[in-house]
A and B are shown apart, each in its own frame.
Chain A
Amino acid sequence: MSASPTLVARTGSFFHRYANPGRFLKLGARLQPWLTWPAIAFTLAGLGWGLFYSPADWQQGDSVRIMYVHVPAAMLASGGYAGLALCGLLSLVWRHPLADLAAVEIGPVGACITALCLATGSIWGKPMWGTWWVWDARLTSVLVLFFLYLGHIALIRAFDDPQRGYRAAAILALAGAVDLPIIKFSVQWWNTLHQPDSITLTGAPTMSASMLWPLALSTIGFSLGFAAIVVARTRAAVMESRIRALLSSPRRGGGAA
């Protein structure tokens, strides 16, 4: 306990080194191509492999190819929300200005990927399970995640004073993180229609290696793509806030408006 204040301070200063918007713009500009191009390459490779070269499943037939979209989307839906919760923590404890901007930008992207997860799951469920939707624990908890994203998007923009919006949204992001372990373990804790995870930390994957490879590639591709889009949007947000500051600064000369 005695060491914690300095640790907290040190972690804070570490994060604050990247809180400087100017520094972030430089870092982001350097990082961007390393995220964007590998994202495109990995996604195309993974999806192309999955769509044309990976084998059909013995009982699901070719519909198993939906997995190469559905599973990465599901992983990112949870991962994106974890990112949102981390931004919430940085915002509430260290008043990190960049974390607030990032939280504003992660929200819509995360909501989109969660919607994609739900939609592709539904499309996959119809031919395989025989239904578009059931209210089992896995599906319901992911739907709750989608609504948490929507709530976060609305809340962070709901106040005239942006600082109050950031604070409220950060609390929602942290509280909503309770849903993440529920999503993860729902298929183990309760009887669900959704099957348990094929890839676990503890056991060997119950999936053919010929399907695991394209899945891994597309998961890497989707993750890099998510990061690339979030970084690009956050860079744009930093520039936009600087534009607003310049426009409202008394120093500003007339002309371009």
Chain B
Amino acid sequence: MTHLPYIVASYGLAAIMALVLSIGAALRLRRARARLAALEQTNNRSAGTPFTP
């Protein structure tokens, strides 16, 4: 392949960016979901009424 370093650099940048963005979003979503579930559970237990959005 001609211009291999340039191609590798481009695809490498794209891969790094995709990984950082998608893993970041997945982790954030998981953390938020777990935290919300825990909070709603304690809330329901103490208040006795289910949380409705």
Contact = CB atoms under 8 A, between A and B. Distances in A.
Direct A–B contact in complex, judged by CB atoms less than 8 Å apart: yes
A249 B40 CA distance: 12
A255 B38 CA distance: 10
Interface size class of A (residues with CB under 8 A): 35 or more
A56 B10 CA distance: 16
Interface in B6-53: 6-7, 9-11, 13-14, 17-18, 21-22, 25-26, 28-29, 31-33, 35-36, 38-40, 42-43, 45-47, 51-53
A235 B39 contact: no
Contact of A70 (B10, B36, B45, B47): B10
A225 B3 contact: no
A138 interface: no
Chain B, interface residues (CB within 8 Å), range: 35 or more
Given A63-B3, A236-B32, A253 B9 contact: no
Interface in A68-93: 69-70, 73
A8 interface: no
Contact of A251 (B28, B36, B47): B47
B2 A247 contact: no
Contacts of A51: 7, 11
B6 A124 contact: yes
A121 B28 CA distance: 31
A127 B46 CA distance: 66
A224 B21 CA distance: 14
Q: Specify the main secondary structure of chain A where it touches its partner.
A: helix
Contacts of A38: none
Contacts of B14: 47, 69, 73, 116, 120
Contacts of A25: 53
A242 B53 contact: yes
A251 B21 CA distance: 36
A225 B9 contact: no
A136 interface: no
A239 B14 CA distance: 29
A62 B2 contact: yes
Nearest to A109: B21
B27 to A, nearest CB: 9
A47 B10 CA distance: 12
A233 interface: yes
Interface of B: 1-4, 6-7, 9-11, 13-14, 17-18, 21-22, 25-26, 28-29, 31-33, 35-36, 38-40, 42-43, 45-47, 51-53
6 contacts: A62-B2, A63-B3, A235-B29, A246-B39, A253-B46, A256-B39
Interface of A: 20-22, 25, 43, 47, 51, 56, 61-63, 65-66, 69-70, 73, 109, 112-113, 115-116, 119-120, 123-124, 126-127, 225, 228-229, 232-233, 235-236, 239-240, 242-243, 246-247, 251-256
